Amino acid sequence: MISKPRGTRDFTPEEMRKRRWLEQKMRSIFEKYGYEEISTPTIEHLDLFTLKSGEGIIEETYAFEDKAGRKLALRPELTAPVMRFYVERFQMETKPIKFYYFGNCFRYDRPQKGRYREFWQFGCELIGSDKPEAIAELIAMAYNILRESGLRNIILRVGNLDILRRFLDGIGARDAEIMRLIDKKDFEELEKKMEEKEFKEFMNFIEIKKIEEIEYEEADRMKEIFEFLEEFAIPYNLDLSIARGLDYYIGVVFEIDAPKLGAEKQICGGGEYNLVPLLGGRKIPTAGFAIGFDRTLLALETEGFKFEEEYKPVYIAYMEGMIKEAIKIVRMVRQHDIKAEMDLMRRSISKSLEYANKKGFNKVIIVAPDEWKKNKVVLKDMEKREQKEVEIESLPHLLKNQA
RNA sequence: GCCCGGGUGGUGUAGCGGUAACAUAGGGGACUGUGGAUCCCCUGUCUCGGGUUCAAAUCCCGACCCGGGCCCCA
């Protein structure tokens, strides 16, 4: 037997119903903010990702050579492809540009709860404005997408790399390794890397919860962003310890967690970055975020969220020798855009009803010879346990009203 | 890549050296024109590969996959 590759998943109809529901929900919210959907290829040149994140990421990327020897990769994320698309096609477009996307990504990781080798990301990029209200709206949208999807237990943390870097410069402790340790919140190692006095200052610094306490000029813009976030009615927490390892992140960064998820609790991350020049485009403000679709769904399920149920099709059962008549009925009903399925097992009426009952159909049409002669069928309501003979012509009307 | 735990019908479990079992689900029937109960019949299982043994689902090793954590998280 051949099973699915490690870290990938099959989705049952029940799971797909939930996924489609959430997908449509999130899509509609992006649209509500005026973002437009784009899509990029599943495979890209490997260089697109190494350029952005360094050679180190190859180990965790599905990288391969095609038959012509090109170095390609299954995309491990979507920001770089979208920026590539922007540089190739949209540099001269009216600003701001607001793109959103939904797609599968691949990382060669050790799978665990909420972490798969094939996973789905929703995300967006805002190109052309770095005004405080633009960043505030972006963060507000991220937060609201999760809230309006039904999540109740989420925490938004907002940091600022300009301020963090300024501070580290001030105590002479800025380097890549320290940024990495801050990102990991590995304070024990940090203590070893810094002088005692510096470390104390640092710990005091990241404890700051009010932006007013920071005196750098970089804090002014941050203050304004927070004012606007309040205007957008978004509860936020200042967290100056958000570091993000990579150099092209600048300015505001933010993360949203669903604390109940455990080790893999971050469901959204984003901020301002500077990637366009790396890809050969003209420098322009860019910011965005990505939402872990699978984790969001997991978080919803953990919170016991009730997903809407779709209405059931009408089920058409028939007496022996009435198959063609049943087909006529199922055709006619479907032509009126009513979901319908007919018995495909040649079941007896008794078994058909047992089946309809088990599968949760509410409406059943029984096609039988006596009624057929009168241009009628039996319409049965499974829940009310009632049935009546109805004119065939009246079926679409009756079914639509009762859907 | 590392550490720990686990893989028995579709699903959930028992068995833990000696005939693979139970529940549930699926198909059919008892009920020849009417559903949730009952009864009967049928289908279907030890993740894979080595090893130990007279004998392995069971013990050992490895692989694969799943779960929890570490690393990483663009």
The model's pLDDT over A297-350, given as tens digits with 9 standing for 90+, comes to 999 988 888 888 778 899 999 998 999 999 999 999 999 999 999 999 999 999
What span, in angstroms and rounded, lies between the C-alpha atoms of A76 and A74? 6
Residue A345 contacts by C-beta under 8 Å, 6 or more apart in sequence? A351, A355
What span, in angstroms and rounded, lies between the C-alpha atoms of A340 and A335? 10
Q: Quote the CATH superfamily of domain A314-402.
A: Anticodon-binding domain (3.40.50.800)
Strand B closer than 7 A to residue A79 Cβ: yes
Domain boundaries, chain A: 13-302, 314-402
Residue A19 contacts by C-beta under 8 Å, 6 or more apart in sequence? A11, A293, A297
Q: Looking at residue A112, what is its pLDDT?
A: 84
The interface predicted TM-score (ipTM) is 0.82
Write the DSSP assignment of A83-115 as a string of letters: HHHIIIIITTSPSPEEEEEEEEEE-----BTTB
Residue A169 contacts by C-beta under 8 Å, 6 or more apart in sequence? none
Q: Looking at residue A41, what is its pLDDT?
A: 96
| Nearest nucleotide (C1') to alpha carbon of A261 | B68
What span, in angstroms and rounded, lies between the C-alpha atoms of A314 and A399? 8
Residue A188 near residue A64, CB atoms below 8 Å:
no
Q: Looking at residue A245, what is its pLDDT?
A: 65
Strand B closer than 7 A to residue A344 Cβ: no
Residue A362 near residue A382, CB atoms below 8 Å:
yes
What span, in angstroms and rounded, lies between the C-alpha atoms of A299 and A86? 32
Q: What is the DSSP letter of A245?
A: S
CA of A238 to C1' of B63 (A): 48
Give residues 187-226 of chain A lying near strand B (Cβ < 7 A).
none
CA of A387 to C1' of B26 (A): 29
Write the DSSP assignment of A328-362 as a string of letters: HHHHHHHHTT--EEE-SS---HHHHHHHHHHHT--
Enumerate the nucleotides of strand B whose atoms come under 7 Å of any protein CB.
1-3, 25-36, 47, 64-74
CA of A2 to C1' of B50 (A): 21
CA of A327 to C1' of B62 (A): 57
Domain A13-302's class?
alpha beta
Write the DSSP assignment of A294-332 as a string of letters: HHHHHHHHHTT--PPPPPPPEEEEE-TT-HHHHHHHHHH
Each as own residue / partner, the long-range contacts of residues A87-90 (CB below 8 Å, 24 or more positions apart, any chain) are A87/A276, A87/A279, A87/A280, A87/A281, A90/A127
Strand B closer than 7 A to residue A61 Cβ: yes
In the numeric block, which tokens belong to residue A360? 């949760």
What span, in angstroms and rounded, lies between the C-alpha atoms of A100 and A289? 10
Q: Looking at residue A403, what is its pLDDT?
A: 52
Stretches in chain A below the pLDDT threshold 50: none
What span, in angstroms and rounded, lies between the C-alpha atoms of A317 and A368? 9
CA of A1 to C1' of B57 (A): 19
The torsion of the CA quartet A351, A357, A359, A364, rounded to 10 degrees, works out to 80
Among A367, A111, A132, A369, residue whose Cα is nearest residue A228 = A132
